[in-house]
Structure 1
């Protein structure tokens, strides 16, 4: 499977238990800005006024660190600036660019969407493949490094802007019962940077031109952990007519909303075989 680059690397891994918590993504920061900042435990930020302007970065970092500990992830002090910058720049939801696609077909049954077939044009993505001890850790650490690239660790030294969805590429074993811990996190560069992508300062993040591709996609709600991903892969397999039409060991999870929300909006993507 070589139609993509770094995002298709991976290896074996153990499956987490059903009580494994969901993962942290960039949108946790947006959720914090909209929901949590109004109740920081010591009164709202609005009530605290100017005093908060001096130390809100530390409070954001502390909140992020507290959440991350529940996922066995450590958030370093160097994340304070990108956390604050991303939160500040994403106060409104209207500025998040959607990755463009062409809808080819849509299959429904009794009014329920079974799957869509979409075509995505070629485009530049920033991606990093992580090799942590657990699947959740790989995703969390990968997102934090992509976040630093988005916020300031790029050749422009500026905030690049959010695009949706943020995707993770996973690999499974042959019978789709185990998800590898080696996970690729990928961010589609906004339209204005597609012609000349800013380069990352992190030498493990690569800017790749992914070719045009067709995907079969099925929506689902709720957390994205190893158990739910396996369930969604197997559910999608049952819906597709031809097993030979898609890549059988690499899949994409597309996230559109904060994973802390009960009704998080996600999609599972199957890549059409070339």
Structure 2
């Protein structure tokens, strides 16, 4: 749990400028590997997300009902879950690479979470942060357009704070049945295509799922090399 969206490299963080700078430099170093620039103005949002934040640092996991699990030799192959409808904040990015799109999209969502909203307050973190990817029908290439989305915590579901960023939209996502499979490591065009194809082989009838749009659910910050992720297939309605 401590790794979730902190990845600071030093465990606990004191709330002072030196730590904020060290944390910013850490993110900048990691992001540089993805050819992503982390602006100095991100220091405060990063600090808020990774510090105790006045005791409000609990990460709320998006609620779901587990419908079934499939295992083989003790290894989890996939889970079938039901997610209720809810408000999400999302932004669609079109950067040169998938990694750039998710990193820049995530940073803009972070700014919304941290203060750039109509409440002017920290909204709280929910996990996972999800990325909607679109593929060709052969699942061999990923479209440049990528959507990064954040589920509004329970106390903001009824009245979602409005974003200052006009590219971020607040919308209700309908209830859905989702097939999920965990995987660890970086998320890029190659690993995602591989995970989609692996999941399609595991499902007895992949035709019951949406075939050209998939979700990558991330439980750790998108710049981290050992990300805890899931691939999600949506059941057709």
TM value normalised by structure 2 = 0.90
Partner of 1:234: 197
CA contact (8 A) 2:5 2:219 kept: no
Partner of 1:3: none
Deviations 1:191-234 (A, max 9, x none): 00001110100000001111111111111222222111111100
Q: 1:196 and 1:171 mapped to 2: Cα distance? A: 30
Q: CA 1:196–1:134 in 2, change beyond 3 Å: closer, same or farther?
A: same
Partner of 2:6: 30
**Structure 1 residue 161 and structure 2 residue 137: aligned?**
no
Q: 1:60 and 1:243 mapped to 2: Cα distance? A: 42
Superposition CA RMSD, Å = 2.4
TM value normalised by structure 1 = 0.78
CA contact (8 A) 1:162 1:190 kept: yes
Deviation, structure 1 residue 240: 1.1
Structure label with greater radius of gyration: 1
Gaps of 5+ in 1: 1-26, 39-44, 47-51
Q: CA 1:92–1:180 in 2, change beyond 3 Å: closer, same or farther?
A: farther
Instruction: Work out the number of aligned pairs and report it.
Output: 234
Counting helix residues as a fraction of each chain, which structure ranks higher? 1
Deviation, structure 1 residue 261: 5.4
Partner of 2:178: 215
SS in 2 for 1:132: coil
Gaps of 5+ in 2: none
Deviations 1:152-203 (A, max 9, x none): 0001100111111111110111111111221110000000000111010000
After the TM superposition, which residues 1-274 of structure 1 pair with which residues of structure 2 at under 5 Å, given as runs? 30-32=6-8, 35-36=9-10, 53-89=16-52, 95-258=58-221, 260=224, 262=226, 264-274=227-237
Q: 2:4 and 2:84 mapped to 1: Cα distance? A: 28
Q: Which has the higher contact order (CA 8 A, sep 6+)?
A: 1
